[in-house]
Amino acid sequence: MTTIPIEKTNALKAFREADEKGRALLTNLFGKEVLSDNVMDRIKTMDDVYAELGEEEFDKDGLTDDEIAYKEAKLIARALNEGWFPDMTDGTTKYYPWMKYTPGVGWSYYDYEFSISDSSVGSRLLLKSSTLAKYAATQFPNVYNNLFS
């Protein structure tokens, strides 16, 4: 039997463009986790983030931990938002992870927060739902710990 390699980004593109029967076929071939309609099923690691966005990992040489975390947090937000970008003039609620610092423990996920006219977090880090904000913080704690430290 011959193996046919396929990039995850190409499989995702085919899945998004397929009709119902095509989606069912692709899901049977690649699995629900790879092609799920729920972005939280597809994004578990930074490798998944890069695959979802169709991008290569960025060069981390010479960057500090917080600089790396900022770049990774922006990528995580882009992947989880699936093309949605916050319009800061529309008055809708936007979300970002909210971390709590505990001496001796460090930063831990505390809650999500929303911002309407506050500029405490850049728009590139905002997520479209509280569910995604909580997921980002709990799935990628090291990224957000380094970002807030």
Biggest CA–CA distance in the chain, Å, is 59
The domain spans of the chain are 64-148
Please give the Cα distance from 32 to 38 (Å, whole number): 10
Identify the pLDDT of residue 115. 47
45's tokens? 């690691």
pLDDT, one tens digit per residue, over 94-116 is: 888 876 666 555 555 554 544 44
Percent of the chain predicted with pLDDT > 90: 45
Identify the pLDDT of residue 126. 93
